[in-house]
Amino acid sequence: MSRIVAGDRAALRSLYDATSAKLFGVCFRILSNRDESEDVLQEVYLTIWRRADRFEAARASVMAWMATIARNRAIDRLRARGPLAYAEPVEAVDAADPAPLASAVLEQAQDEAALRRCLGELDARTATVIRTAFFDGVTYEALAKRLDAPLGTVKSWIRRGLLRLKGCLES
C-alpha cells in the first residue's frame, strides 16, 4: 500500500493480480452483468490508486477494505437501475482458477472463520437472509419480495441477526 501511495504502478498491478478476480466476483454477484461489473471494477482500482493513503492498516485488512469499496460501488450501480432492482439469476460464468493467494488475501482468513462461526450460531433462516442481503446487495423491499415475507418481518430478522452477530464477534 505504501508503494501505491508513492505512485508505484507496478505495486498496483501486483495488487490487481492478487485481488481482481475476487473483487470481480463480488461485483458480478451483485450486478449479474459483465460490462457493468467491469466498469465498477475499473472505478474500484482507480479509487484504490487515489485513496491508498487513506487505508488504515490498524482498522481493516487490505482485502476487507477493497471488498467494501467494491460492494459499495456495485450497490450504487444496482440502485441506479431502480428501486426494486434485484439481481437477476446469475449468468453462467467460468469461475477463475483459484489464484495463488497473496498475503493480502490470507490475512483475512481468521476474520472469515470468526464471522462464519458466528453466522452459524444464528438460526438458519436469519443467516441465509443476511448472506443473501450481503452477496446480492438488494434492498429490504426486494428481499421481502423474493422471500414473499412482509417487509417489517424481514427487517426485524436482519436487525436482530446483526445484533446477535455483533455480540458473537465481540465475545
- Angstrom distance (rounded) from CA 66 to CA 137: 16
Q: Does 6 bind other proteins (CB under 8 A)?
A: no
Enter the DSSP assignment of 77: H
Phi and psi at 138, nearest 5°, equal -95, 160
Q: Which of residues 49-88 bind other proteins (CB under 8 A)?
A: 49-51, 53-54, 59-61, 63-65, 67-68, 70-72, 75-76, 79-80, 83
- Angstrom distance (rounded) from CA 28 to CA 168: 30
By CB under 8 A, name the one of 117, 120, 140, 150 that touches other proteins.
140
Report, in Å, the least distance between residue 112 CB and other proteins: 4
Q: Does 135 bind other proteins (CB under 8 A)?
A: yes
Q: Does 117 bind other proteins (CB under 8 A)?
A: no
Tell me the one-letter amino acid at 99: A
Report, in Å, the least distance between residue 31 CB and other proteins: 12
Nearest to 26 by CA among 90, 71, 87, 79: 71
- Angstrom distance (rounded) from CA 13 to CA 18: 9
Q: Does 100 bind other proteins (CB under 8 A)?
A: no
Q: Does 24 bind other proteins (CB under 8 A)?
A: yes
Q: Which of residues 30-49 bind other proteins (CB under 8 A)?
A: 37-38, 41-43, 45-47, 49
Given the complex with other proteins, which of 79 and 125 has the nearer CB atom?
79
Half-sphere exposure of 96 (CA within 13 A, CB side): 15
Report, in Å, the least distance between residue 40 CB and other proteins: 11
Report, in Å, the least distance between residue 159 CB and other proteins: 5
Enter the DSSP assignment of 94: P
Phi and psi at 42, nearest 5°, equal -60, -45
Q: Does 151 bind other proteins (CB under 8 A)?
A: no
Q: How many residues does the chain have?
A: 171
Q: Does 125 bind other proteins (CB under 8 A)?
A: no
